[in-house]
Chain A
């Protein structure tokens, strides 16, 4: 019986290696998104990254969109591995990680699982899992500077999904950027409670505009309705995730965009060179900001004046040479409590930034849900 099973397994092995021979000269990558590819947001940014690596002649990439964070994503990962022969998987939604990636990664130790969001824990998670993320708050800070110059009422609006560290960091960076250009500016925050609730996002935009807000930005999965509402009401808007200038040709100032095609190309090259996570030749945690090319700023819209451009470019230059620190003392939260004393600063890599729970002075809103 045993020997019988072994023969079958060997036979499968032969077939499988024969099949993989033809694919061996190509790096095969699989991308999974939680929403549609054309959401002008999170998923579009990743899909553009996928399109970027697809241009390389030695890469074969498959993608699947609108995969929910249920057993459905486990099925998609298994299908990509078994049916499409994918060697490197990029399940991009934050909620895919635990339990789905962790479970499938254990079952397929030869496949590399790279997750966007940065949750990998050394020693606790399977060795073939890694994570990557970008310091997009750098680009948001630049948006803030431009917004601070553009506002006439001094009231900025920020529509956010949830009061979690990643989101709070962007709100604070936006406020600090804006107040560096216009010290009296305020940022009114509305939390919608979920990543993709277009109706609430539109209502929030309308309500903020009615309160006198004249520059909007956001951190939700798809900024589409917010961009459209701002444009229709004739106010300024800063994009997020992907370039949204098409949706707001008049009011678009600039925006914080991901540059995943650079990140994915780097990974593809590492895999092509025979490197892997399990062998430790691909780092388990990869991070980068403007300097590393992980994030970028949208081109300026038509209304951005030269003073704004000058300040924004100066900030960008400081990010590029590594001298800019966004979170530095003296820094107070919006209840007046001191967060950082003068002279102290939190560099981008500082781990305490990843558990941020406060809103800086000048932000109107509360993290309590």
Chain B
């Protein structure tokens, strides 16, 4: 259990009461990721230079394409929305000391159950349809990851392996359903379910290109943050993550809490699947498995599994991804270039984790 807990961020820090955090350690928490991003930018800049492109021009273009105007910031936010929800699927169990990476599977199952529910009540008013889809998506995704929890608590099956493998099962299940029982016979060359009626879809916010999925993501991240940091339930979860034996000694129902967290985690990813169906695709098909689940794992680890940080990191990753196009169109760099940048950012941030508490400047003087 212990190795998992140490991978999942630094639970010991979370247990320290807030008042004892001094400015130096607060500064450390902010400065480390910023320095890591700077290091990544230097590395990526030299990569661009090696390809014969001016690094400053490249960064200018990335900034312009990701954050430079309301038009481009919308693109960033659209990309960030699903990541906020899928990241929680890893982040919540991580606080317990579980490394769950079944985000993609939970998203797919949530999308499927949401589609089924939406089609079942498609003639009802739009709010009823969307509520039914959201509930079905959350229950579907939730039960999917609860299954991972049951395997772990009842049978001792490693949760990382089982959740990873269940992703493939979920995608195969999706393909089976849209090729068979759920198939709309008119979807010849791209097998899909029947469509949700257009007027029952989740709309865009006002005049923008952003759909309401972004609001869902932010609200759920806030709820997760309150739940984990400011409730006794969250404290219990962190206690289990900090020391599972001590938690058992204290009489905490470890397995029950674990299963609840697994359900919530899967529900968040399932909701992401529902939004993909209700706001973007309008039907279930292979496009549901677009990698948002896997990107969510990255977001969760970089955000150190904290609800508020997940929002910020999702926006950062959304911005990086949204600027991928301009590097191809303006600089004729290959399509994988943006992945190089993304990889460098994440590696340096994760590496910076190992430096916490090791730099003298950030050491609090002994009280």
CB of A72 within 8 A of CB of B335, answer no
Mark out the residues of chain A between 79 and 93 whose CB falls within 8 Å of any chain B CB in the assembled complex: 79-80, 82-84
CB of A165 within 8 A of CB of B280, answer no
Interface residue from B276, B287, B291, B326 paired with A95 (Cβ < 8 Å) = B287
11 A-B pairs with C-beta separation under 8 A? A36-B336, A66-B324, A69-B290, A71-B280, A75-B322, A82-B71, A84-B329, A99-B280, A162-B179, A164-B189, A369-B176
Residue numbers in B under 8 Å from A162 (CB-CB)? 179, 191
CB of B286 within 8 A of CB of A194, answer yes
Assembled-state Cα–Cα distance A184/B191 (Å):
34
Closest chain A residue, CB of each to CB of B198 = A99
Q: Say yes or no: is A153 at the interface (Cβ < 8 Å to chain B).
A: no
Q: Say yes or no: is B190 at the interface (Cβ < 8 Å to chain A).
A: yes
Number of interface residues of A (CB under 8 A): 37
Residue numbers in A under 8 Å from B342 (CB-CB)? none
Question: How many Å from the CB of B49 to the closest CB on chain A?
Answer: 23
Closest chain A residue, CB of each to CB of B65 = A79
CB of A75 within 8 A of CB of B325, answer yes
A157-198 Cβ-contact flags toward B at 8 Å (1 or 0): 000001011100000000000000000000000000110000
Question: How many Å from the CB of A42 to the closest CB on chain B?
Answer: 13
User: 4 other contacts beyond A64-B335, A369-B180, with CB at 8 A cut-off?
Assistant: A36-B336, A66-B336, A70-B287, A75-B322
Q: Say yes or no: is B281 at the interface (Cβ < 8 Å to chain A).
A: yes
Mark out the residues of chain B between 120 and 176 whose CB falls within 8 Å of any chain A CB in the assembled complex: 172, 175-176
Interface residue from B175, B282, B285 paired with A369 (Cβ < 8 Å) = B175
Interface residue from A71, A83, A117 paired with B189 (Cβ < 8 Å) = A117
Q: Which 8 A-B pairs have the closest CB atoms?
A: A66-B335, A65-B335, A69-B287, A62-B329, A70-B290, A369-B179, A75-B75, A164-B189
Asked if A65 meets B328 with Cβ closer than 8 Å, knowing A70-B280, A369-B179, the reply is: yes
CB of B329 within 8 A of CB of A99, answer no
Closest chain B residue, CB of each to CB of A100 = B280
Q: Say yes or no: is B209 at the interface (Cβ < 8 Å to chain A).
A: yes
Mark out the residues of chain B between 180 and 214 whose CB falls within 8 Å of any chain A CB in the assembled complex: 180, 188-191, 209
Assembled-state Cα–Cα distance A166/B209 (Å):
34
Q: Say yes or no: is B79 at the interface (Cβ < 8 Å to chain A).
A: yes
Interface residue from A75, A79, A164 paired with B78 (Cβ < 8 Å) = A75
CB of B280 within 8 A of CB of A64, answer no
Which residues in B have some Cβ–Cβ distance to A below 8 Å?
Answer: 65, 71, 75, 78-79, 172, 175-176, 179-180, 188-191, 209, 276, 280-282, 285-287, 290-292, 321-322, 324-326, 328-329, 334-336
Residue numbers in A under 8 Å from B324 (CB-CB)? 66
Assembled-state Cα–Cα distance A254/B285 (Å):
34
Q: Which secondary structure characterizes the binding site on chain B?
A: helix
A347-369 Cβ-contact flags toward B at 8 Å (1 or 0): 00000001100000000000001
CB of A95 within 8 A of CB of B190, answer yes
Interface residue from B188, B209, B292, B321 paired with A165 (Cβ < 8 Å) = B188
Question: How many Å from the CB of B69 to the closest CB on chain A?
Answer: 10
Residue numbers in B under 8 Å from A62 (CB-CB)? 329
Assembled-state Cα–Cα distance A72/B179 (Å):
25
Residue numbers in B under 8 Å from A71 (CB-CB)? 78-79, 280
CB of B188 within 8 A of CB of A164, answer yes
CB of B290 within 8 A of CB of A68, answer yes
Residue numbers in B under 8 Å from A164 (CB-CB)? 188-191
Question: How many Å from the CB of B107 to the closest CB on chain A?
Answer: 12
Closest chain B residue, CB of each to CB of A194 = B286
Assembled-state Cα–Cα distance A132/B365 (Å):
71
Which residues in A have some Cβ–Cβ distance to B below 8 Å?
Answer: 36-37, 62-72, 74-76, 78-80, 82-84, 94-95, 98-99, 117, 119, 162, 164-166, 193-194, 354-355, 369
CB of B322 within 8 A of CB of A99, answer no
Assembled-state Cα–Cα distance A62/B329 (Å):
6
Closest chain B residue, CB of each to CB of A99 = B282
Residue numbers in A under 8 Å from B328 (CB-CB)? 63-65
Closest chain B residue, CB of each to CB of A107 = B209
Residue numbers in B under 8 Å from A354 (CB-CB)? 188
Assembled-state Cα–Cα distance A70/B83 (Å):
13
Question: How many Å from the CB of A352 to the closest CB on chain B?
Answer: 12
Residue numbers in B under 8 Å from A193 (CB-CB)? 172, 175
Interface residue from B281, B292, B325 paired with A99 (Cβ < 8 Å) = B281
Assembled-state Cα–Cα distance A178/B326 (Å):
46
Assembled-state Cα–Cα distance A65/B334 (Å):
8
Residue numbers in B under 8 Å from A83 (CB-CB)? 326
Residue numbers in B under 8 Å from A79 (CB-CB)? 65, 75, 325-326, 329
Closest chain A residue, CB of each to CB of B282 = A99
Residue numbers in A under 8 Å from B286 (CB-CB)? 95, 194
Residue numbers in A under 8 Å from B285 (CB-CB)? 95
Question: How many Å from the CB of A256 to the closest CB on chain B?
Answer: 18
Residue numbers in A under 8 Å from B176 (CB-CB)? 369
Question: How many Å from the CB of A303 to the closest CB on chain B?
Answer: 34
Assembled-state Cα–Cα distance A172/B290 (Å):
31
Assembled-state Cα–Cα distance A82/B188 (Å):
33
Assembled-state Cα–Cα distance A78/B191 (Å):
27
Question: How many Å from the CB of A340 to the closest CB on chain B?
Answer: 20
Interface residue from B79, B180, B189 paired with A94 (Cβ < 8 Å) = B189
Assembled-state Cα–Cα distance A99/B71 (Å):
21
CB of B79 within 8 A of CB of A36, answer no
Asked if A78 meets B209 with Cβ closer than 8 Å, knowing A65-B335, A71-B78, the reply is: yes
Interface centre among A72, A165, A355 (most CB of B within 10 A): A72
Closest chain B residue, CB of each to CB of A163 = B179
Residue numbers in B under 8 Å from A65 (CB-CB)? 328, 334-335
Assembled-state Cα–Cα distance A151/B97 (Å):
58
Assembled-state Cα–Cα distance A36/B321 (Å):
16
Residue numbers in A under 8 Å from B329 (CB-CB)? 62-64, 79-80, 84
CB of B175 within 8 A of CB of A94, answer no
Question: How many Å from the CB of A107 to the closest CB on chain B?
Answer: 9
Question: How many Å from the CB of A82 to the closest CB on chain B?
Answer: 7
Residue numbers in B under 8 Å from A99 (CB-CB)? 280-282
Question: How many Å from the CB of A90 to the closest CB on chain B?
Answer: 14
Assembled-state Cα–Cα distance A82/B68 (Å):
14
CB of A36 within 8 A of CB of B78, answer no
Residue numbers in B under 8 Å from A369 (CB-CB)? 175-176, 179-180
